Structure 1
Amino acid sequence: MLLNQKCFYTGFLITAILLLFASCKKWIQIPPPKNTIVTEQVFQDEAQAEGAMSGLYTMMINGEAAGAQPGIASNNYSAGYLTVATGQSSDELFPYRGSTILKDYLLATNKLTGLQDEAITPLWNSAYKTIYNANGIIEGIAATVSGTLSEKSRREFTAEAKFVRALSYFYLTNLFGDLPLALTIDFHQTVKVKKSTQAQVYEQIIKDLKDAIADMPSSYERGKGERIRPNKWAATALLARVYLYQKDYPAAAATATEVINEQVLYKLEPDLNKVFRANSTEAIWQLKQATTTNIRDATPEGYLLLPTTAHKSAAIYCLTDQLLQAFEAGDKRREDWVDSTDNTLSGSGQPPAFTFYPAKYKIGGANFNTGMPAEYYMVIRLAEMYLIRAEATANGALGGPADGVNDLNEIRRRAGLDELPSTITQDELIIAIEKERQVELFCEWAHRWMDLKRTGRAHDVISVIPMKQPWAGDHQFLYPIPRNDRRDNPLLSQNEGY
């Protein structure tokens, strides 16, 4: 979608500025561009550049319009759909409506085809829209000759945009493999671009993150103290994850340690029910939803996953037995992050059942309001850094398995579980880390789906699930390239097996 429309979303930055200032009745009068962003106007001063940057995040969490419908969580990778889609592809979620919704059925049974791509097209399109908008900011700031936009702001806004671009490409390449690497909004350069290898995509991700770390502030000053604008540590945390995926274990451990050691800003939240609240001590970066949408102060994901009538109406997506059985007895995460609903008397028209659903977010359709949001959408949090370092040291990074056990026990203590013994073998530790990631990061930003793939465990775990029989083949571990993009770009080859 990004690569074949000359006018694709060129008005985004202008619109973002207007939306940003609408609440204070101050509108910037800028004539709309015809085919390109009017960079010298959009980035003329600090306020306009700030508006464009804020607009980028608004698009990521609220969708394309100020009055976005609740369905934004079903159409936007960065507002909940990544969790829902990959949760069904893996062993976390199943659709309560069964086969009645085609895209859910195809994901949950791993029966995607190259012609039936409705389930994955929103992931591709929304991620590339985000990349396009980030590229627009990077190029716009580079092009403007305004003397009223300080050099410090130029560097910081560019760094933020590079971080967002890296985040979006990280998910795209883990979902689709090799893919077009678009680093410009120039239609002539992107209209017929061929795939770059995943190695090349990762090379660009690492470059963008290193650039971002060099120029982003360490504090949350851009978010006025709220953790809603990424800073140096958000970029560092994502880089630690990238190193882990690349199996660069020494770099993964060292980079995760940098974030863990920033103890003035970050601490594990002792109360599991507060982890996902706005500006929790565990939050490294969160997206702040707009209360002007139809979901009010709920996060899009919370609205989508929580029943509309607490404990009575059916949840749209339910937790699988595979996930529920992974929790140890006494695990507080099972108590605080999982809830249940019995719709046998709801009159919903759905088959009666008692089911479980993810309850990391507490605000949804049953209790939303128009007040100040108590929860923001968590993108990156501190617990993952401990798990990254544990896995890296278990695989040979400085500190070795003993340090890996210590990091894992930090997470287990909070969950109310017994500590693992220091005598655990390396193989036992690696198995324990996989399980701990499963129950700590479940239904968060595709962690489980991508963990199983990167560790080579996907076939053994996923192919035997009864819902996924008969198994269509391991090619399903990469999603198909959307057919519309392949139709418009003959250089864009389909993934193997589709």
Structure 2
Amino acid sequence: MRKKLINEKIYLLILLLPLSVACKKLVTIPPPKHSISTEQMFETDNQAEGALAGIYSVMINGASTTQTQSAALNSWSAGLVSLLGSLSGGDYYNANLSGDLDFYEHATNNLKIQGRARSDAMWTTAYSSIYGANSIVEGVAASTSSKLSAKARKELTAEAKLVRAMAYFYLVNFYGDVPLVLTVNFHETIAMEKTPAAKVYDQVISDLKDAWQNLRDDFSTGKGERVRPNKWAAAALLSRVYLYTKNYTGAYEMASEVIRQQQIFELETDLNKSFLATSKEAIWQLKQTTQNTRMGNATPYGMQTVTSSVRIANFRLTDQLLNTFEAGDKRRDNWVAQTNNSEAGQAPVISWFPAKYKLGNHNFTSTSPKEYFMVLRLAELFLVRAEAQAHGAGDGLSAAIDDLNVIRHRAGLEDLPESLSNDELFLAIEKERQLELFAEWGHRWFDLKRTGRATVVLPEIPMKAPWRGDFQLLYPIPDKEIQENGMLIQNPGYF
């Protein structure tokens, strides 16, 4: 048994090495000079499974578990998407403002090319995940081992494609056109041009359809925990992608597929349970390590956003968001907390921070995690379906209002009237998405961009005025990537 565990750790290490190195440059790294063969790495189901588990570990813990407490600052999937997207979209701002120029420029929508370590890290770590996913897809396909079962081949490939699709979804929404890398072959990726966003979306949809067809419909892969994506995660992400690409019928159908699984998913009536590891509305979560003594059982994102009632909050909710909540909204009561900053020796000044997660830098313990990092949850699907129906899919406007009212009921609010006009309905959808999904995975930022509302809404936030140009609706491609790959062109407006 000990020899088997050692061998599996070796396989995992060899897989993770190129993942961490890939951060140094898009995916133009040459193959390792000393490595085991694909046949060895993907010889058995357990070895191939270990390789995929390694990808998930890097996604939530970062490249080194000794620095997991800061993974949300440095890894797209551990919280960086949520941090930057929430700053850009006006959910919150960084407490020290110009003391952290990187965050400050996102909070004010005044990005520069140089010195953007955080947004650059989002690019490189997302491509690292893509590199890992491609290594699984190609490795499984190339393996001729009879010990690698047909079932494992199908499911591991489908899971890897889902990870790849998710990474590309965020790259496209932050950067626009990006290189579409579908191989680990150094000679094919060394100098890739941008791929039009529409073509990247085509690949995302293709990957998610494969995942939808070939993944399990239960959580047995994660041993009952919702930490490995199944076909419902594929359906949920596909419904979102269809919404973004204006395939409203597809968005309606995929969202309905998940919503109908009432024996598996349901909205938590107690909002304080929504982000627990045991949440019934969780579709997919990432499970962090507990081996970092400076973080314990908190999530990397919670470490950056959650604090006590007397400590300084790193990220403070904007008045624009806080003033949008209606009186009696349980989301305001349960998902927002306050601090008076008094521990820092300042005159007490109340500020508000996101508290969907309850464990942070002040109260983590060494016990098993009670919270995992939420990737996909059921509430979003009601909002996706509502918007799709408002655009004419499914049962139309009345049914769209019904879906919004499901979310409002859970928040303790009264029903929206059936008499809403089209314009009023779309504003109601925008508002419910803002309040339900704030500080999560850049939803507000993406929503404002895709609906054309960014330049109307964001300049109303004082620190974002005056609006500096629509070019900032896309982030700049990391300058180092431009310098090292002559085929890459910087996004317009950045000099």
Distance between the aligned counterparts of 2:12 and 2:143, measured in 1? 14
Runs of 4+ aligned structure 1 residues displaced above 3 Å come to 11-18, 349-352
Q: From the superposition, tell whether residues 17 and 50 of structure 1 become closer, same or farther in structure 2 (CA, over 3 Å).
A: farther
User: Are 1:401 and 2:397 an aligned pair?
Assistant: yes
Distance between the aligned counterparts of 2:115 and 2:60, measured in 1? 26
User: Are 1:328 and 2:326 an aligned pair?
Assistant: yes
Q: From the superposition, tell whether residues 359 and 16 of structure 1 become closer, same or farther in structure 2 (CA, over 3 Å).
A: farther
1:102 Cα shift?
A: 1.2
Cross-structure match for 2:235:
236
Mean Cα displacement is larger for which, 122-131 or 61-70? 61-70
Distance between the aligned counterparts of 1:35 and 1:41, measured in 2? 13
Cross-structure match for 2:351:
355
User: Are 1:471 and 2:471 an aligned pair?
Assistant: no
Contact 1:485 1:492 in 2 (8 A): yes
Structure 1 unaligned regions, length at least 5 = 1-10, 19-31
Q: Secondary structure at the match of 1:463?
A: helix
1:312 Cα shift?
A: 0.2
Q: Secondary structure at the match of 1:493?
A: coil
Cross-structure match for 1:490:
486
Q: From the superposition, tell whether residues 252 and 489 of structure 1 become closer, same or farther in structure 2 (CA, over 3 Å).
A: same
1:14 Cα shift?
A: 3.3
Q: Secondary structure at the match of 1:120?
A: helix
User: Are 1:452 and 2:451 an aligned pair?
Assistant: no
Distance between the aligned counterparts of 1:37 and 1:453, measured in 2? 45
Contact 2:304 2:360 in 1 (8 A): yes
Deviations 1:17-56 (A, max 9, x none): 99xxxxxxxxxxxxx9526662111111011111111111
RMSD after superposition: 1.6
Distance between the aligned counterparts of 1:37 and 1:429, measured in 2? 57
Cross-structure match for 2:382:
386
Structure 2 unaligned regions, length at least 5 = 1-9, 18-30
Distance between the aligned counterparts of 1:334 and 1:107, measured in 2? 24
Cross-structure match for 1:80:
79
Cross-structure match for 1:341:
339
Distance between the aligned counterparts of 2:448 and 2:465, measured in 1? 18
Q: Secondary structure at the match of 2:375?
A: strand
Deviations 1:407-433 (A, max 9, x none): 000000000000112222222111100
Distance between the aligned counterparts of 1:488 and 1:238, measured in 2? 33
Q: Secondary structure at the match of 1:196?
A: coil
User: Are 1:247 and 2:243 an aligned pair?
Assistant: no
User: Are 1:416 and 2:416 an aligned pair?
Assistant: no
Cross-structure match for 2:273:
274
Cross-structure match for 2:179:
180
1:388 Cα shift?
A: 0.3
What TM-score, normalized by structure 2, do the two folds share? 0.93
Cross-structure match for 1:5:
none
Cross-structure match for 2:104:
105
What TM-score, normalized by structure 1, do the two folds share? 0.92
1:119 Cα shift?
A: 3.4
Contact 1:338 1:359 in 2 (8 A): yes
Contact 1:314 1:350 in 2 (8 A): no
Deviations 1:78-129 (A, max 9, x none): 1111111111111111111011111011111111112232231011011001
| Number of residues of Structure 1 aligned to a counterpart in Structure 2 | 471
Contact 1:14 1:42 in 2 (8 A): no
Contact 1:17 1:51 in 2 (8 A): no
Contact 2:14 2:35 in 1 (8 A): no
Deviations 1:208-240 (A, max 9, x none): 001111111111111001100000000010000
Contact 2:61 2:78 in 1 (8 A): yes
Q: From the superposition, tell whether residues 410 and 103 of structure 1 become closer, same or farther in structure 2 (CA, over 3 Å).
A: same
Contact 1:37 1:136 in 2 (8 A): no
Task: Look up the equivalent residue of 2:312 and give its one-letter code.
Answer: A
Distance between the aligned counterparts of 2:118 and 2:16, measured in 1? 32
Cross-structure match for 1:26:
none
Question: Greater helix percent: which structure?
Answer: 2
Contact 2:73 2:118 in 1 (8 A): no
Q: Secondary structure at the match of 1:286?
A: strand
Distance between the aligned counterparts of 2:11 and 2:113, measured in 1? 30
Q: Secondary structure at the match of 1:89?
A: helix
Q: From the superposition, tell whether residues 304 and 453 of structure 1 become closer, same or farther in structure 2 (CA, over 3 Å).
A: same
Task: Look up the equivalent residue of 2:155 and give its one-letter code.
Answer: E
Cross-structure match for 2:304:
304
Task: Look up the equivalent residue of 1:299 and give its one-letter code.
Answer: T
Q: Secondary structure at the match of 1:67?
A: helix
User: Are 1:427 and 2:423 an aligned pair?
Assistant: yes
Cross-structure match for 1:314:
312
1:69 Cα shift?
A: 4.0
